[in-house]
């Protein structure tokens, strides 16, 4: 790219041209973060937090038990929320499903009420990721000195299970949480137990998954994709890189959909299963000029309709095929067929081919979390997160689905 600065600390991919401002401050962001010791201090993603409407958690957990490798572990409450812990293996990010204990109108409610579809589920929102930190006090004080803001002051004394959250990003409305790295427990006031009927239902769902025999092909989350406005794209990425130890992997222009896909990856973990990639998607031109230029606007239309938020969580699918290779019936095709047997709906057929590098598909939006689940199978060691043709087709399918929500 012509305006990329030399001596990039990480290999860059993609063809989307960024502004001179972005290129200059990308390098400065890495330098400043290194100098403050934050790249060293902040580890990978150790948990994801998704909030749902009060009372909806058990339905959402059931959906996750069917669609992912997560197992239900236990539940607890603090003063404000009930949490449900789901895990795969200790090294993969934990999933925390959270439901508010009251319907008090807090910051999440306010954000959701700023969009027409957000209003319909005012407590439902992907909250953010929890990143492990080696030294909490040091990380928070360095970030505060750099003008980053947290929901509250860091308590003088706190347990190593304490999570310290940033204010929602003004660009993504996601939060970043810090927690002492490799701690498995959480601060809690009391345990919460589902009734036996619900626990039995969780076991039945896991048995259904086992009977359908597709989980052997699933991997943990591969990437997490947030949708932002066109004018926020570069700021969202640089702000995120300032708060984490992720690096900018590359931005790809998806001209057909007037969109770009921007990928950041952990500088600590090469393997996405240990710390998924964070992806940002934005229009190339703002929605209000699309009628003049006769361009589509699915990404910005989503943000207008749902507010800035996480759009999809992508589950990896192991590479491989079933039956003769020339039939091109891949593991992901089998996974989708089995989930359809269990009445899960998808937005289109599996897109792409192994000749192009990977196959992927979007589920219909979860009615409990409003998150799409993507299934992505990379073939023969393909390193990308998408092909341009695939993203154009996926973006179009998701855009059409938004219209009927």
Q: CB nearer to Fe ion: give 133 or 310.
A: 310
42: which residues sit within 8 A by CB, 6+ positions away?
131, 132, 133, 139, 178, 243, 244, 245
Report the nearest approach of Fe ion to the CB of residue 35 (Å): 33
Q: CB nearer to Fe ion: give 274 or 277.
A: 277
Report the nearest approach of Fe ion to the CB of residue 43 (Å): 23
Strand partners, 47: 94, 130
Spatial distance between the Cα atoms of 100 and 118, rounded to a whole number of angstroms? 16
Report the nearest approach of Fe ion to the CB of residue 358 (Å): 10
Report the nearest approach of Fe ion to the CB of residue 262 (Å): 12
Spatial distance between the Cα atoms of 206 and 24, rounded to a whole number of angstroms? 49
Q: CB nearer to Fe ion: give 94 or 390.
A: 390
Q: CB nearer to Fe ion: give 36 or 254.
A: 254
Q: What is the dihedral of CA 136, 139, 143, 146, to 10 degrees?
A: 150
179: which residues sit within 8 A by CB, 6+ positions away?
46, 47, 130, 131, 132, 133, 136, 161, 162, 163, 164
Plot region of 80 (φ>0 → left; ψ -120 to 50 → alpha; else → beta): alpha
Spatial distance between the Cα atoms of 250 and 234, rounded to a whole number of angstroms? 12
Report the nearest approach of Fe ion to the CB of residue 216 (Å): 22
Spatial distance between the Cα atoms of 9 and 48, rounded to a whole number of angstroms? 28
Q: What is the dihedral of CA 135, 140, 145, 150, to 10 degrees?
A: 170
Report the nearest approach of Fe ion to the CB of residue 376 (Å): 7
Q: CB nearer to Fe ion: give 139 or 314.
A: 314
Report the nearest approach of Fe ion to the CB of residue 259 (Å): 12
Q: CB nearer to Fe ion: give 242 or 395.
A: 395
Spatial distance between the Cα atoms of 48 and 312, rounded to a whole number of angstroms? 13
Q: CB nearer to Fe ion: give 44 or 384.
A: 384
Q: CB nearer to Fe ion: give 178 or 280.
A: 280
Q: What are phi and psi for residue 392, nearest 5 degrees?
A: -60, -45
Q: Nearest-CA neighbor of 82 among 41, 127, 52?
A: 52
Residues that bind Fe ion (CB under 5 A): 225, 314, 374
Report the nearest approach of Fe ion to the CB of residue 360 (Å): 7
Spatial distance between the Cα atoms of 282 and 389, rounded to a whole number of angstroms? 17
């Amino acid at each position: 790219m012509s305006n990329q600065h030399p001596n990039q600390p990480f290999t860059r991919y993609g063809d989307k041209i960024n502004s001179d401002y972005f290129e200059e401050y990308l390098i400065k962001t890495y330098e400043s973060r290194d100098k403050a010791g934050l790249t060293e201090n902040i580890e990978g993603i150790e948990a994801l937090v998704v909030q749902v409407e009060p009372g909806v958690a058990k339905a959402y957990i059931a959906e996750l038990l069917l669609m992912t490798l997560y197992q239900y572990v236990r539940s607890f409450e603090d003063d404000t929320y009930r949490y449900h812990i789901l895990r795969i293996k200790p090294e993969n990010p934990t999933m925390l499903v959270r439901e508010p204990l009251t319907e008090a109108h807090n910051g999440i409610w306010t954000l959701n009420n700023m969009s027409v579809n957000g209003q319909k589920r005012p407590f439902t929102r992907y909250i953010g990721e929890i990143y492990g930190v080696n030294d909490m006090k040091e990380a928070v004080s360095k970030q505060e000195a750099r003008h980053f803001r947290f929901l509250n002051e860091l308590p003088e004394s706190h347990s190593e299970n304490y999570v310290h959250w940033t204010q929602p990003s003004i660009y993504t409305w996601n939060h970043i949480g810090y927690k002492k790295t490799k701690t498995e427990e959480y601060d809690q006031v009391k345990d919460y137990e589902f009734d036996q009927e619900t626990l039995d239902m969780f076991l039945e769902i896991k048995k259904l998954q086992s009977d359908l025999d597709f989980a052997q092909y699933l991997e943990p989350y591969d990437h997490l994709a947030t949708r932002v406005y066109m004018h926020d794209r570069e700021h969202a990425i640089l702000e995120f890189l300032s708060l984490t130890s992720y690096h900018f992997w590359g931005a790809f222009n998806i001209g057909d959909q007037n969109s770009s896909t921007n990928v950041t990856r952990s500088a600590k973990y090469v393997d996405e299963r240990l710390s998924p990639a964070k992806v940002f998607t934005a229009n190339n031109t703002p929605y209000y000029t699309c009628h003049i230029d006769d361009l589509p606007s699915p990404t910005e239309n989503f943000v207008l309709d749902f507010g800035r938020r996480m759009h999809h969580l992508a589950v990896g699918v192991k590479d491989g095929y079933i039956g003769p290779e020339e039939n091109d019936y891949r593991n992901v095709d089998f996974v989708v067929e089995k989930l359809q047997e269990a009445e899960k709906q998808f937005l289109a057929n599996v897109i792409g081919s192994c000749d192009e590098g990977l196959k992927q598909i979007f589920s219909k939006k979860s009615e409990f979390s409003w998150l799409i689940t993507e299934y992505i199978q990379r073939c023969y060691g393909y390193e990308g997160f998408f092909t341009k043709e695939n993203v154009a087709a996926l973006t179009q399918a998701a855009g059409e689905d938004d219209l009927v929500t």
